[in-house]
Amino acid sequence: MLGLLAQQARANRVLLARLAQPNGVMKDDRYWHCLDQAMEASHGGHTDEAMAWFAEALKENPNGAEAHNGRGEILWDEGRVDDALYEFELATLADPKFATAHLNRAELLIEELGEYEESTRLCDRLLGGADELPRLDKSLEAEIHYLKSKACFYQEDLEGALFLVRRGLQCGGDQAISLAFEGQILLELGLFDEGRRRLDRAVVLDPESAHALYHHALVLERLGLETEAEESFARADALDPKHYPRPVRLDTGVFEAAASEAIDELPRSIREYVAHVPVLIEDFPPPELVQAENVSPQILGIFMGVPRTEAGANDGGSDIDRVVLFKRNLEKACRDEEELIEQIQITVKHEIGHYLGLDEGDLERLGLG
């Protein structure tokens, strides 16, 4: 399904596409009438009706880039990613200057297919400003830098992502969606004060953005501003409970019991092997771990020490070996207490797996990914 940031960006593109429609009576006036009807139906949630109107539009103009793009957007919302990509490609072939379809295609490659390099190549082509491609104004340049920033972010190149989103803001001015994303990147870098300033601004510009409010709450809680954080969590949940539910708060005793139960469920031979490894509970990863070790501040847990596969043959284990669970992060990863207890146990077993020398692929196959 279409990501939240992608939804906001796409809504802006739809508006621009409508504004770009020709005025007055045209030879293909029936085509534009069908497009208007399709958009009205789509905005009303009547997707079948919208698709029927797009089909009518394409009867009038089989190479209608706007109609192919509109079909692609609905298909994307329905999770039909390959079909959506095909429609966006048809739109760009029909009208190589139709920027909205290029941007939708690039964002789909990032959000749904993980084709970061291909999306980046497409963005670089658009930035090249070839005559056959859309005219590169400041608004389009800003969107392209934003998309390249997302591709870097998902590839864990946070510095590159930060540079690019700031390039976009320089081109397009303060846009809430880009400011919120900049704040998200700064959060991941452990730069909480700076992240808060950007997210403060994003929330002022768009107080209805659940994404901005949720990440605003994340930086506020890391700065110890609990009351303000809870308010932002509540506002994000009210706007979009599906994607941004409020954290599940769990009593410390229940949390500790869930972690202990995870150890008890291990096979006896493994329990004896890891008996010296304590499971500790902290609220968050400390700043030095986030910044010095490039650990995400949202990490659920971590094994710290020497994996058994790297220890000496006669080494019975180090007294610095430990599993650390981050309670406040785990509480944000789940929707209810039952799911949280299950996630605590999965995280404990996952980190014990790292101690035993298992890699992420091994853990995924064991259902501990």
What CATH code is assigned to 174-246? 1.25.40.10
Q: What is the pLDDT of residue 310?
A: 73
Query: CA-to-CA distance for 270 and 160, rounded, in angstroms?
Result: 42
Q: What is the pLDDT of residues 176-233, one digit of tens each?
A: 999 999 999 999 999 999 999 999 999 999 999 999 999 999 999 999 999 999 999 9
Query: CA-to-CA distance for 185 and 120, rounded, in angstroms?
Result: 18
Q: Tens digit of pLDDT per residue, the chain (369 long)?
A: 444 455 555 555 544 454 455 443 344 689 999 999 999 999 999 999 999 999 999 999 999 999 999 999 999 999 999 999 999 999 999 999 999 999 999 999 999 999 999 999 999 999 998 999 999 999 999 999 999 999 999 999 999 999 999 999 999 999 999 999 999 999 999 999 999 999 999 999 999 999 999 999 999 999 999 999 999 999 999 999 999 999 999 999 999 999 999 999 888 888 888 888 999 999 999 988 888 788 999 999 999 888 877 765 445 555 688 999 999 999 999 999 999 999 999 999 999 988 888 777 776 776 555
17 neighbors 100 (Cβ within 8 angstroms): yes
Q: What is the pLDDT of residues 328-360, one digit of tens each?
A: 999 999 999 999 999 999 999 999 988 888 777
Class in CATH terms, 252-365: alpha beta
Look at the block and give the residue holding tokens 């880009």: 178
Tokens of 323: 């599993």
Q: Name residues whose C-beta falls within 8 Å of residue 180's C-beta, 6 or more positions apart in sequence.
A: 5, 198, 199, 202, 206, 209, 211, 212, 215
Q: What is the pLDDT of residue 17?
A: 53
Q: Please choose, from the candidates 215, 273, 208, the residue with its C-alpha nearest in 3D space to the C-alpha of residue 239.
A: 208
3-class DSSP state of 222 = helix
Q: What is the pLDDT of residue 364?
A: 73
What is the residue extent of each domain of the chain? 174-246, 252-365
Q: What is the pLDDT of residue 288?
A: 85
Burial bucket for residue 224 (CB in 10 Å: 0-12, 13-18, 19+): exposed
Measured in whole angstroms, the distance separating CA 270 from the mean position of its chain's CA atoms is 36
Q: Are strands 322-326 and 279-282 parallel, antiparallel or unpaired?
A: parallel
Q: What is the pLDDT of residue 267?
A: 85
